[in-house]
Amino acid sequence: MDTTSYDKLALFYDLLMQGIDYEAWVSYVEELIGHFQGSTQSVADLACGTGNSTIPWSKRGYSTIGIDLSAEMLEIARRKSAVQGYAIEFQQGDLRSFELADQVDLAVCFQDGFNYILDSKDLAAAFQSVFNNLHQEGFFIFDLNYLPRLMPEKDEIYTAEEEEYALTWRTRYMEKEQLWEIKITGKIIGDGEDEHFSETHREKIYESEDVWLLLTELGFTVLGTYQAFTFSPPHEGTPRVVYVAQKSIPEK
């Protein structure tokens, strides 16, 4: 993992993600926790980006911290939360090795943040870090893209153009490696010379059985897997799987 894949994209991140309802995500997680008769006061938002997924927790009164690898993303998140009047701590950290000053009741990761971890050993390290930073019986709720059965055989190209910027992204699925690759090119349209950039993003597609096994081996109890925003189990055509796990109480 490195920060370069989001450095120049940071300014455009909110534009690309503007269709995502993070308030709905928070409400859904609250429903999941209520379903399992849990409670939480403190939340760690992992791979928090520019803070859009973090601020709703603070709005609802939770003690909140956001973790991300990109300094550029976090700079935007800090400015955004300050303007809105929320005292949120944003910490730069690698999901595989982050450490919090205090353990939390809940760790969340929305919009396929863990898919950016391309190796199962690194994914296990990230899950271990989450485990270490949770209180006993703390909840770990996250989603993963699961796209192979939905991937087109040919590359797909998307464009977005406004007065201030232009973006093009090309996506392809590499079946052998189980990688989804997104190549993004763009330009910032200025008064003088335009600024051009190009970035490549890759997401690893993990089988649910493998993720479940990793979690249980580390000491989590997997309470369920769901289609996003529902309590229905995933099926072969489910593009996004939500995992609900809980830090198990050690046996005496």
pLDDT digit of tens for each residue in the chain (252 aa)? 444 445 556 666 766 666 789 999 999 999 999 999 999 999 999 999 999 999 999 999 999 999 999 998 999 999 999 999 999 999 999 999 999 999 999 999 998 999 999 999 999 999 999 999 999 999 999 999 986 655 666 688 888 787 777 888 898 888 888 888 889 888 877 777 787 878 888 999 999 999 999 999 999 999 999 999 999 999 888 889 999 999 986 665
What's domain 4-146+206-247's superfamily in CATH? Vaccinia Virus protein VP39 (3.40.50.150)
CATH of 149-204, one of 2.20.25.110, 2.40.50.100, 3.40.47.10, 3.90.1300.10: 2.20.25.110
Q: What is the 3-state secondary structure (H, E, C) of the chain?
A: CCCHHHHCCHHHHHHHCCCCCHHHHHHHHHHHHHHCCCCCCEEEEECCCCCCCCHHHHHCCCEEEEEECCHHHHHHHHHHHHHHCCCCEEEECCCCCCCCCCCEEEEEECCCHHHHCCCHHHHHHHHHHHHHCEEEEEEEEEEEECCHHHCCCCCEEEEEECCCEEEEEEEEEECCCCEEEEEEEEEECCCCCCEEEEEEEEEECCCHHHHHHHHHHHCEEEEEEEECCCCCCCCCCCCEEEEEEEECCCCC
